[in-house]
Amino acid sequence: MTTEQEWAAVERRGVHLVTAAAEERPFIIHGFNTYWLMSFAADEATRPRVTAVLAEAADAGLNVCRTWAFNDGGYRALQTAPFCYDEEVFKALDFVVSEARRHNMRLILALCNNWGDYGGKAQYVSWGKEAGVDLTSDDDFFSDPTLKSYYKAFVEAVLTRINTITNVSYKDDPTIIAWELINEPRCPSDPLGDTLQAWIGEMASHVKSIDPLHLLEIGVEGYYGPSTPELLPVNPDDYSGRAGTDFIRNHQALGIDLASVHIYSDTWLPDSVEENHLQFVNTWMQQHIDDAANLLGMPIVIGEFGLSLKDGKFDSEFRETFIKTVYNNFLSSREGGMIGGGCLLWQLFPEGAEHMDDGYAVIFAKSPSTFNLLANHSRKLEC
């Protein structure tokens, strides 16, 4: 484990990230997603898998894990009801943060979900209805004052949490590299994007008022919207431009530090022609890197990218080609000094968690060539 002096906060310097020690050093995100760490840590039987995945990732040279710091309602919920939080589950999140520190792993912590998994905006709407609020759509999450008050209270509870293992408050802990407002937000009821834009601005301001130290990202997939009609053809389909998100405009909100993008050509494109998928990755990444560097002036974080093997459309060999393509696009831009940030694979599992696999899981013990690919990328980043 690095010393406290070396474990300095990661800060933004224009389009680059640095560790803010006495001698600043560039920081490149070479990361992965394992979303279920908190829920596994909440059960003594599955807690060792949290340690296992962090240790395996560290062995491959990975340095950032993106995971959920929320579980709204339902089984092992962190937020059991508005303004009510389960202390035992919070202690599980404490464990995740302390174990990450022990393995020299930074964390991106997401604070909500657009989707129903782990509660998300649908759970907030359900709570609002139970309280007698007149709501018509899950998209009311972004505009209703009552639901916004629930979310703000939860955010404050997480950011001001004092870790029971380390005694360090989350908002002061350099283990956390960034907060994410919400995973993959969409608001199709307002395709012009004003509703989501107002929510991003309000919540970014709220987060920064509590925690000005940490970096902040939105969590969007990166779809171009009405503010840049000339870029709509870069989107994978017509719907993407009407999802209520807007890559350029969203990231111009005050308080946002990192440009977030996801890459899922396997579900976004209708065909399984491998060359088409690689070409999409190249175009999608190059456009977003160019925009992050030149229009937004901030680092880019490919928060999720992966390829599912579940339906048999693609094999593990092509998945590795896909991963290499993502890495090479980032490397070429980074080596030219154009951009900083990095990429996080969706997703990394230890052995014993196969039942959670959505088709995207990489298990190093069963995929030594993928381990070598990630370790090799780590070495390239150190050059």
The kind and range of the H/E element at 209 are helix 194-210
The kind and range of the H/E element at 368 are helix 368-382
> d(Cα 100, Cα 31) in Å, to the nearest integer?
13
Runs of H (alpha helix) within 224-297: 247-250, 265-268, 274-291
> d(Cα 356, Cα 37) in Å, to the nearest integer?
12
* Token reading at 362: 């990489």
Asked if 184 is an active-site residue, the reply is yes
* Token reading at 34: 């394992």
As a three-state string, the secondary structure of 145-174 is HHHHHHHHHHHHHHHCCECCCCCCEHHHCC
Compute φ and ψ for 159, nearest 5 degrees.
-65, -35
> d(Cα 29, Cα 36) in Å, to the nearest integer?
20
Catalytic one among 11, 180, 184, 221? 184
Question: Of 381, 368, 383, 346, whose CA–CA distance to 65 is shortest?
Answer: 346
Asked if 354 is an active-site residue, the reply is no
Report whether 267 contacts 250 (CB < 8 A). no
DSSP state of 27: -
Q: In what order do the strands lie in the sheet with 10-13?
A: 10-13, 16-19, 25-26
**Cα dihedral sign for 28, 33, 35, 41?**
negative
Report whether 329 contacts 341 (CB < 8 A). no
* Token reading at 18: 């640095």
* Token reading at 64: 């950032």
* Angle between helices 120-130 and 145-159 in degrees, nearest 10: 120
* Token reading at 91: 């202690």
Could you give the residue numbers annotated as active site?
A: 184, 304
